């Protein structure tokens, strides 16, 4: 697979809320104050601290953290709903922060769309008009975008609701409108701020599947904010874990799961269902000789759960790993079991403090 | 000798006091004192007068009396009056024309056009059979007891004034919602307009415009009734859900698109509530305005009071109540219809 192009670069981004963020920033940089010390000494809130990360084109980049970790603040920097205190944001190599008002508006209209946690639909417009909001904002004629909007509503499963008002729809359906609105804007980048967090678990799963299905075809660049690790692991091509405004660890989700670098992350991952999240490709033996395995084949992107099902409990089972029709490695059951050993909640982690 | 003589002698101002001695008119209490032969000799501490302007004037003739304050105010107002009405007269002339025109209109259009027209408007904004029959009964009843002309005059005045209130009030409210400075400056004015007794702003208006001109009562009604529509427009726009505003920003709306596409439509229920209040307040003012020649039911109420014609006053008063209920119900019904399409 060819390396994907980096479309958005965030470099050393700081955001401090308070009366004199510049002075507070000096102290954070020079004295290395943390969030708690800064609050105590200067009454400023350190929302984001030295965030550096890349977003690659066509990826779903998930930024995950608990509430207060700065993730919603971070995503609002990408389309400049919030101005940073210091740092750089490059979109296709161009500094977003140097754009004029007019250019910023054009960027928001043409290059980035957004989906919100609380839907934020226009309550006085029909579902169809909401879906066409981006086009209408750009000044297109209704006749020109109506067909397009209807198509997008069909895609998200709301073909029959075009003439209803948002308040006549359920939460899940409203968020489908939100998704259709973002997709209909045709922007290559889609920002999703806890887009599914307000939904019931079942509907949330539906929406995640819908997003993945659409993504398969559209290859948008998605920046997704979530506080839910299961959701993050399901969606993410690249996972950024935030805590108290700084990046704790980032990388491929499978890698984070297998090699957590921080107690905080160990705590996080200690009670997820590893079998459902870990994939064959992350634990397979690439140098293994396919000829020595018996005939049972597994796809490189299968979850370990499905491998367990195929093994029917036999510990000596050995599988051939297939990618695009070719054998690329082997997988032994002991490796599967080893990968499934849960990471213990750390001694110093928040679990033990919480009790 | 007066109580505060020592004050002026201590300040060495005796000469200044005597320089214009006795020039001012003699006050009543001074006359009374001199008649009694008391020259304000020993005043006990219990009767010590407050060092007011009048008391100080007793001690020092050059010190102004309080009535010079009111006279000064009056002279000041009269001296700018001409230039003020030179500016305000043409500016407010359209209001006179609008009022005259609408009064002429309602009185010269036959009742069999006006009443069905009002019924049609009621039906269009409310779509309610119950309300329509109530409104019809109301107007037919007023016409039956020969109050049709008076009621129509009152209605015409209210509608013109309420329309002008909306015309100016909504933009002012929008400006207030967009600028905190504007809001800080406007709120004291609104507070003043709301608390000033309605009679009080008739006083300068009577001096500025001639009493026969409709704009005199028009301005009084508008000043009194414009406050709620301004306040509720401001409030309505400020209360628009911030997340919807954020979404509008995130999709790159200009300020203008945001204002007319999101903020004003979402504030509309509040603005309509303000319009309802404005209409109710114009109705309250239209009775007081009959003191300055506003025609309509208020004239009958005034006649009832002046001539002690109990029946005339009561019937006209009840007519005003009926008009108020009709206007209130019709505006509320349209408000409810807006709400049902809008709110989640």
What is the distance, to the nearest Å, from the Cα of residue B4 to the centroid of all Cα atoms in its chain? 43
Mean pLDDT of B182-199: 92
Least confident window among A150-154, B59-63, B297-301: B59-63
- The pLDDT of residue B265: 92
Per the rule left: phi > 0, alpha: psi between -120 and 50, beta: everything else, B38 is beta
| Secondary structure tally for chain A: helices H, strands E | 17, 13
A120 vs B247, B261, B341: nearest CB:
B247
Q: Which chain A residue lies closest to B245 (C-alpha atoms)?
A: A120
Question: What torsion do the CA atoms of A338, A342, A343, A346 make, to the nearest 10 degrees?
Answer: -140
Whole-angstrom Cα distance, residue B242 to residue B160?
Answer: 35
Decide: A47 and A73 in contact? Cβ < 8 Å: yes
Q: Which chain B residue lies closest to A106 (C-alpha atoms)?
A: B252
Whole-angstrom Cα distance, residue A166 to residue A126?
Answer: 7
ipTM of the complex: 0.83
Highest averaged pLDDT of the listed ranges A248-252, A287-291, A293-297: A248-252
Mean pLDDT of A206-220: 91
- Does the CB of B344 have a partner CB in chain A at under 8 Å? yes
- Does the CB of B339 have a partner CB in chain A at under 8 Å? no
Percentage of residues of chain A with pLDDT beyond 70: 94
Q: Answer whether B252 sits within 8 Å of A106, measured CB to CB.
A: yes
Pairing mode of beta strands A60-64, A326-332: unpaired
- pLDDT tens column, A81-93: 999 999 999 999 8
> By 3-state DSSP, what share of chain A in percent is helix, strand and coil, each rounded to 5?
45, 25, 35
Collapse the DSSP code of A334 into the 3-class scheme (helix H, G, I; strand E, B; otherwise coil) and give the result: helix
Predicted confidence (pLDDT) at residue A187 exceeds the cutoff of 80: yes
Write out chain B residues lying below 8 Å of A110, CB-based. Answer: 252
Whole-number Cα distances in Å, A221 to A7, A58, B40: 8, 4, 95
Mean pLDDT of A196-210: 91
- pLDDT tens column, A69-81: 889 999 999 989 9
- The pLDDT of residue B162: 95
Predicted confidence (pLDDT) at residue A353 exceeds the cutoff of 80: no
Whole-angstrom Cα distance, residue B247 to residue B16?
Answer: 73
Q: What is the mean pLDDT of chain A?
A: 86
Predicted confidence (pLDDT) at residue B6 exceeds the cutoff of 50: yes
Collapse the DSSP code of A292 into the 3-class scheme (helix H, G, I; strand E, B; otherwise coil) and give the result: helix
Whole-angstrom Cα distance, residue A174 to residue A180?
Answer: 10
Least confident window among A21-35, B94-108, B170-184: A21-35
Q: Which residue has the higher pLDDT, B212 or B175?
A: B175
Cross-strand bridge partners of residue A241:
A64, A249
DSSP string, A2-27: PPPPEEEEEEEEEEEESS-HHHHHHH
Mean pLDDT of B46-50: 84
Question: Measuring CA to CA, which residue among A343, A329, A321 is closest to residue A277?
Answer: A343
Residue B20 pLDDT class (50, 70, 90 cuts): low
What's chain A's Rg over C-alpha atoms?
23
Write out chain B residues lying below 8 Å of A175, CB-based. Answer: none
- The pLDDT of residue B7: 82
Highest averaged pLDDT of the listed ranges A296-305, B42-51, B211-220: B211-220
Predicted confidence (pLDDT) at residue A351 exceeds the cutoff of 70: no
Collapse the DSSP code of A43 into the 3-class scheme (helix H, G, I; strand E, B; otherwise coil) and give the result: coil
Residue B9 pLDDT class (50, 70, 90 cuts): confident
- The pLDDT of residue A349: 47
- pLDDT tens column, A105-146: 999 999 999 999 999 999 989 999 999 999 999 988 988 899
Question: Measuring CA to CA, which residue among A27, A86, A83, A88 is closest to residue A53?
Answer: A88
Q: What is the mean pLDDT of chain B?
A: 88
Phi, psi of A247, rounded to the nearest 5 degrees = -80, 120
What is the distance, to the nearest Å, from the Cα of residue A140 to the centroid of all Cα atoms in its chain? 31
- Does the CB of B246 have a partner CB in chain A at under 8 Å? yes
Whole-angstrom Cα distance, residue A304 to residue A332?
Answer: 11
Strand ranges across the sheet with A86-91? A45-56, A6-17, A86-91, A94-95
Question: Measuring CA to CA, which residue among A243, A290, A319, A317 is closest to residue A69?
Answer: A243
Q: Answer whether B252 sits within 8 Å of A105, measured CB to CB.
A: yes
Predicted confidence (pLDDT) at residue B272 exceeds the cutoff of 60: yes
Write out chain B residues lying below 8 Å of A123, CB-based. Answer: 244, 266, 342-344
- The pLDDT of residue A239: 92
Residue A325 pLDDT class (50, 70, 90 cuts): confident
Predicted confidence (pLDDT) at residue A190 exceeds the cutoff of 80: yes
Write out chain A residues lying below 8 Å of B268, CB-based. Answer: 124
Q: Which residue has the higher pLDDT, B62 or A197?
A: A197
Mean pLDDT of A173-198: 92
- The pLDDT of residue B344: 44
SS3 of chain B: CCCCHHHHHHCCCHHHHHHCCCCCCCCHHHHHHHHHCCCCCCCCHHHCCCCCHHHHHHHCCCCCCHHHHHHHHHHHHHHHHHHHHHHHHHHHHHHHHHHHHHHHHHHHCCHHHHHHHHHHHHHHHHCCHHHHHHHHHHHHHHHHCCCHHHHHHHHHHHHHHHHHHHHHHHHHHHHHHHCHHHHHHHHHHHHHHHHCCCCCCHHHHHHHCCCCCHHHHHHHHHHHHHHHHHHHHHHHHHCCCHHHHHHHHHCCCCHHHHHHHHHHHHHHHHHHHHHHHHHHHHHHHHHHHHHHCCCCHHHHHHHHHHCCCHHHHHHHHHHHHHHHHHHHHHHHHHHHHHHHHHCC
Distance from CA of B250 to the nearest CA of A (A): 6
- The pLDDT of residue B85: 85
A5 CB-contact burial (10 Å; exposed 0-12 / middle 13-18 / buried 19+): exposed
Predicted confidence (pLDDT) at residue A1 exceeds the cutoff of 50: no
Q: Answer whether A137 sits within 8 Å of B241, measured CB to CB.
A: no
- pLDDT tens column, B122-167: 999 988 999 999 999 999 999 999 999 999 999 999 999 999 999 9
Instruction: Determine the straight-line distance between the first and last CA of chain A, rounded to whole angstroms.
Output: 46
Q: Which residue has the higher pLDDT, A266 or B201?
A: A266
Least confident window among A280-289, B263-272, B328-337: A280-289
Mean pLDDT of A53-66: 92
- Does the CB of B181 have a partner CB in chain A at under 8 Å? no
Decide: A44 and A17 in contact? Cβ < 8 Å: yes
Decide: A226 and A232 in contact? Cβ < 8 Å: yes
Write out chain B residues lying below 8 Å of A181, CB-based. Answer: 251
Percentage of residues of chain B with pLDDT beyond 90: 60
Decide: A342 and A257 in contact? Cβ < 8 Å: no
Q: Answer whether A105 sits within 8 Å of B342, measured CB to CB.
A: no
- The pLDDT of residue A274: 83
Least confident window among A89-93, A310-314, B321-325: A310-314
> Quick one: DSSP state of residue A341?
S
Which long-range CB contacts under 8 A does B187-193 form with residues at least 24 apart?
B190/B227, B190/B230, B190/B231, B193/B223, B193/B224, B193/B226, B193/B227
- The pLDDT of residue A352: 46
Predicted confidence (pLDDT) at residue B316 exceeds the cutoff of 90: yes
Predicted confidence (pLDDT) at residue A287 exceeds the cutoff of 60: yes
- pLDDT tens column, B211-250: 888 989 999 999 999 999 999 999 999 999 999 999 999 9
Pairs of residues, one from chain A and one from chain B, whose beta carbons lie less than 8 Å apart? 63
Question: Measuring CA to CA, which residue among A263, A259, A265 is closest to residue A339?
Answer: A259
- The pLDDT of residue B287: 85
Phi, psi of A156, rounded to the nearest 5 degrees = -95, 10
Q: Which residue has the higher pLDDT, B244 or B12?
A: B244
């Amino acid at each position: 697979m060819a390396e994907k192009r980096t479309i958005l670069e965030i470099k050393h981004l700081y955001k401090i809320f308070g009366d004199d963020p510049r002075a507070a920033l000096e102290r954070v940089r020079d004295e290395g104050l943390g969030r708690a010390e800064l609050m105590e000494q200067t009454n400023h809130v350190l929302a984001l601290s030295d965030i550096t990360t890349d977003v690659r084109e066509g990826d779903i980049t998930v930024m995950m953290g608990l509430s207060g970790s700065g993730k919603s603040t971070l995503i609002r920097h990408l389309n400049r709903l919030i101005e940073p205190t210091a740092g750089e944001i490059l979109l296709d190599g161009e500094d977003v922060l140097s754009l004029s008002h007019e250019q910023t508006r054009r960027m928001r209209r043409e290059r980035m769309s957004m989906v919100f946690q609380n839907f934020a639909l226009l309550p006085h417009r029909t579902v169809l008009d909401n879906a066409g909001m981006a086009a209408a904002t750009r000044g297109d004629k209704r006749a020109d975008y109506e067909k397009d909007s209807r198509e997008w509503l069909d895609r998200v499963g709301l073909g029959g609701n075009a003439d209803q008002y948002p308040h006549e729809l359920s939460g899940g359906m409203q968020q489908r409108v939100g998704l259709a609105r973002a997709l209909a804007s045709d922007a290559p980048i889609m920002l999703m701020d806890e887009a599914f967090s307000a939904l019931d678990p079942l509907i949330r799963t539906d929406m995640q599947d819908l997003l993945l299905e659409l993504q398969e075809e559209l290859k948008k660049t998605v920046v997704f904010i979530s506080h839910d690790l299961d959701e993050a692991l399901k969606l993410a091509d690249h996972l950024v874990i935030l805590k108290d405004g700084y990046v704790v660890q980032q990388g491929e989700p499978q890698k984070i799961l297998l090699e957590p670098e921080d107690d905080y992350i160990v705590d996080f991952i200690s009670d997820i269902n590893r079998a459902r999240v870990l994939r064959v490709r992350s634990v397979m033996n690439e140098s293994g000789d396919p000829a020595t395995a018996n005939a049972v084949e597994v796809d490189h992107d299968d979850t370990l759960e499905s491998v367990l099902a195929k093994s029917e409990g036999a510990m000596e089972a050995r599988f051939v790993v297939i990618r695009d029709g070719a054998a690329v490695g082997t997988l032994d059951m002991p490796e599967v079991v080893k990968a499934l050993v849960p990471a213990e909640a750390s001694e110093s982690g928040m679990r033990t403090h919480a009790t | 000798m007066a109580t505060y003589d020592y004050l002026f002698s201590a300040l060495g101002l005796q000469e200044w006091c005597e320089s214009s001695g006795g020039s001012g008119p003699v006050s009543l209490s001074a006359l009374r004192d001199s008649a009694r032969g008391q020259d304000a000799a020993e005043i006990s501490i219990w009767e010590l007068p407050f060092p007011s302007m009048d008391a100080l004037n007793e001690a020092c003739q050059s010190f102004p009396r309080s009535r010079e304050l009111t006279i000064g105010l009056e002279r000041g107002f009269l001296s700018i009056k001409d230039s003020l009405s030179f500016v305000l007269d043409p500016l407010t002339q359209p209001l006179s024309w609008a009022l005259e025109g609408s009064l002429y209109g309602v009185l010269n259009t036959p009742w069999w056009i006006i009443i069905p027209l009002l019924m049609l408007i009621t039906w269009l904004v409310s779509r309610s059979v119950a309300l329509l029959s109530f409104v019809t009964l109301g107007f037919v009843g007023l016409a039956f007891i020969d109050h049709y002309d008076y009621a129509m005059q009152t209605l015409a005045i209210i509608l013109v004034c309420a329309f002008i209130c909306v015309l100016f009030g909504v933009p002012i409210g929008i400006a207030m919602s967009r600028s905190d400075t504007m809001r800080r400056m406007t709120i004291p004015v609104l507070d003043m307009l709301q608390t000033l007794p309605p009679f009080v702003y008739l006083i300068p208006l009577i001096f500025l415009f001639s009493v026969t001109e409709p704009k005199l009562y028009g301005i009084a009604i508008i000043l009194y009734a414009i406050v709620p529509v301004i306040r509720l427009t401001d409030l309505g726009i400020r209360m628009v859900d911030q997340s919807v505003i954020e979404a509008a920003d995130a999709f790159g709306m200009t300020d203008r698109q945001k204002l007319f596409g999101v903020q004003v439509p979402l504030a509309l229920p509040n603005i309509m509530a303000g319009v309802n209040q404005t209409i109710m307040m114009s109705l309250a003012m239209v009775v007081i305005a009959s003191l300055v020649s506003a025609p309509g039911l208020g004239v009958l109420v005034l006649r009832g009071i002046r001539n002690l014609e109990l029946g005339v006053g009561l019937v006209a008063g009840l007519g005003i109540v009926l008009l108020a209920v009709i206007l209130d119900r019709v505006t509320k019904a349209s408000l409810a219809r807006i709400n049902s399409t809008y709110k989640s």
